[in-house]
Structure 1
Amino acid sequence: MSTQSSLTVGIAVPLEAEHVEAIRAVDPSITVLYEPDLLPPERFPADHSGDPSFRRSADAEERYWKLVNSADVLYGFPNESPAGFARVVAENPRLRWVHAMAAGAGGAVKASGVSREDLERVIVTTSAGVHALPLAEFAVMGILNGLKRTAELAEDQRAKNWPDLRVPTRLASGSHVVVAGLGEIGVETARLARALGMTVSGTKRTADPIDGIEEVATAERLPELLARADALVNTLPGTPFTDKLIGREVFSAMRSGTILVNVGRGTVVDEDALLEALENGSVGYACLDVFAVEPLPETSPLWEHPRVLVSPHTSALSAAENRLIAERFADNLRKFQAGEPLPHRVDPVHFY
């Protein structure tokens, strides 16, 4: 941490000027380095990587790296990439803190290959929580899709088929949802689910009670929790401990027709086991925003499965995202100046 009165903050990723000014307003002693001509233009709100066709001239590239290597604190990974993070850690001895745009930035930190020693010097914080509401809304949409048979309705509509027999749908009220990962996203999902009359249980690293959650358990008890569930929502990050956590054992514990929603990381779900569960009926519908390999390969059977919704890792996006992340960063910047611990720090060992 730093208690020095004057800091230099570098804006390493695309950000609107009004949000940069909000960061400057934290403290007039802070120098904020922001050169928008060095940053790729956004193609859509909160496009942190920017236009992939953007190229800097040799002079602009030199200016960009001079900027990020002059900073004590960075807003975003350089070039929004693990390689950019690794390079700035190696080249900038004054760097102390990098704030990542993603909620699950641990994977990128791990992929950078930066040593544990360097991660003690340069702490990384994530934007976890900023995306909680849009992700929770998407998760509830997925549950409702499954309960209300929207996949079958869309298929009948495409075929201009008016079935002779009307098929009933399931009520949200009285349904039971299990949330794997009761962090900020999971708790927000639970709040919205309860507003629709659903009951909720779920998993957490420590099984401490949470208001409004019927039962909190550790991950090894996930199959037990699923015995009476109508839906399973995954919000877990991708770590060695969560890799393929939702696999054959979990699917075999489900009741027939259980809904699966994944807004965590694709590696948490064993996709081969999921396809088996879809075929044997354990999973009645799957709403997937994340996949083990992204973009999802064209050869994946998930693309064309009639009871799967494929979303291209966009469920967290909202027009308000840049403002919310900048506000989170400004709050953290005040804490950093005061020498206080920063929330949502990436664990340098487990990378979550």
Structure 2
Amino acid sequence: MTPVETVVAIAVPLEAEHVERIRAVDPSVTVLYEPDLLPPERYPADHTGDPAFRRTREQEDRYWALLNSAQVLYGIPNENPGGLARIVASNPHLQWIQAMAAGAGGTVKASGLDTEALGKLKITNSAGVHALPLAEFSALGVLNGFKRTAELARDQAAKTWPEVRTPTRLVSGSHLVITGLGEIGLETARIARALGMTVSGTKRTVEALDGIKEVTDNDGLAGLLPAADAVVNTLPGTPYTEKLFNHDIFAAMKPGTVFVNVGRGTVVDEDALLEALDNGQVSYACLDVFAVEPLPADSPLWNHPGVMVSPHSSALSAAENRLISDRFCSNLRIFLDGGDLPHLVDPVHFY
């Protein structure tokens, strides 16, 4: 029996070599890929592409005709909530979208689509693809805080050689608390343990995990913090994590705690963080994500001596497109075989 054709459309910038790997998954797969309809990448894994890119009227019609003829999309159209809302409304054959982001729930929520509309298709995120670079960045943040690199940089800029040397802190033997022991959190824990740290953390479903000293849910977070020398947040932005790190949570930390955020900025009450930085409860904050992005120019976080600002770039690596296309090829095989796709975005909780 002739296999049923599955049409995949590439909706976001992607190198041709990765497209060919998608085509090779199965003879029944037809991949629609017209690179002239996609904005050029400004850097590796630039899924949005050059904002100056404009399609002609004819190209715009071709782009949407291509997407509307597919059952599967690689990427959310135009990589924005409006594109998602439009394709769901215009393509009745659409069954599955592979999103580029690990935290695609925010885009899905912002699309304004109701539960009924979202229930007609599957949206998978790229959770786990970014685990290693985010874990490495988290280790950087912890090391920066323990080794006083911000102070060293200031002294170097001022050509200051202090008469009294200040000791640094040992990472080995210290304790780390990770909020969100998913793929990113567990990879962070692996690297932390390699540095000699012990690790506890939170998980939505509380269960024993190898190498993790104590696991609780977010309601038990305050109980973990008095023992923490450093805290790493990997949680996504959902109604349940909104401003989880508030005044009370920062107050539960012991003085001098190092704080790293590679999850979502909405998980942190930034006013409460600034207060904790100013009163010494937090000695150093390494932040890759913020409640509003780009970080507004008038935010005190820019100039705070105990803060490192990273422009939501810590997950990026030259290997990202390859890793996401690897994930997509694996998922496509599962989809063709009628299996359950992993890393589905919850259409209710947007997680």
Deviation readout 1:107-130 (Å, 9 max, x if unpaired): 000000111112111110000000
Q: Which residue of 1 aligns with 2:196?
A: 197
Following superposition, the deviation at residue 33 of structure 1 comes to 0.2
Q: Which amino acid aligns with 1:194?
A: R
**Aligned residues with identical type, % of pairs:** 70
Q: Which residue of 1 aligns with 2:308?
A: 309
Unaligned runs of 5+ in 1: none
Following superposition, the deviation at residue 279 of structure 1 comes to 0.5
**1:267 equivalenced with 2:266 (yes/no):** yes
Following superposition, the deviation at residue 282 of structure 1 comes to 0.3
Q: Which residue of 1 aligns with 2:131?
A: 132
Q: Which residue of 1 aligns with 2:142?
A: 143
User: Do 1:130 and 1:324's aligned partners in 2 also have CA atoms closer than 8 Å?
Assistant: yes
Structure with larger RCO (C-alpha < 8 A, sep 6+) = 1
The 1-side partners of 2:276 and 2:162 are apart by 26
Q: Which amino acid aligns with 2:11?
A: A
Unaligned runs of 5+ in 2: none
Q: Which residue of 2 aligns with 1:50?
A: 49
Deviation readout 1:84-137 (Å, 9 max, x if unpaired): 000000000000100000000000000001111121111100000000000000
Secondary structure of 1:121's counterpart equals coil
Q: Which residue of 2 aligns with 1:30?
A: 29
User: Do 1:205 and 1:219's aligned partners in 2 also have CA atoms closer than 8 Å?
Assistant: yes
Deviation readout 1:267-294 (Å, 9 max, x if unpaired): 0000000000000000000000000000
Q: Which residue of 2 aligns with 1:344?
A: 343
Q: Which residue of 1 aligns with 2:185?
A: 186
Q: Which residue of 2 aligns with 1:66?
A: 65
Secondary structure of 2:14's counterpart equals coil
Q: Which amino acid aligns with 1:218?
A: D
Q: Which amino acid aligns with 1:236?
A: L
Secondary structure of 1:220's counterpart equals helix
Q: Which residue of 2 aligns with 1:222?
A: 221
**1:285 equivalenced with 2:300 (yes/no):** no
**1:41 equivalenced with 2:26 (yes/no):** no
The 1-side partners of 2:261 and 2:223 are apart by 19
Report the TM-score when normalising by structure 2. 0.99
Deviation readout 1:32-70 (Å, 9 max, x if unpaired): 000000000000000000000000000000000000111
Following superposition, the deviation at residue 6 of structure 1 comes to 1.6
The 1-side partners of 2:109 and 2:90 are apart by 18
Following superposition, the deviation at residue 28 of structure 1 comes to 1.4
The 2-side partners of 1:20 and 1:249 are apart by 49
Q: Which amino acid aligns with 1:213?
A: I
User: Do 1:238 and 1:265's aligned partners in 2 also have CA atoms closer than 8 Å?
Assistant: yes
User: Do 1:24 and 1:32's aligned partners in 2 also have CA atoms closer than 8 Å?
Assistant: yes
The 1-side partners of 2:223 and 2:157 are apart by 39
User: Do 1:5 and 1:337's aligned partners in 2 also have CA atoms closer than 8 Å?
Assistant: no
Following superposition, the deviation at residue 29 of structure 1 comes to 1.3
Following superposition, the deviation at residue 183 of structure 1 comes to 0.3
Q: Which amino acid aligns with 1:53?
A: A
Q: Which residue of 2 aligns with 1:82?
A: 81
Secondary structure of 2:119's counterpart equals helix
Kindly report which structure 2 residues correspond to 1:248-259, keeping only aligned pairs within 5 A, or say none: 248-259=247-258
Following superposition, the deviation at residue 5 of structure 1 comes to 2.9
Regions of 4+ moved over 2 Å: none
The 1-side partners of 2:106 and 2:62 are apart by 28
The 2-side partners of 1:291 and 1:246 are apart by 13
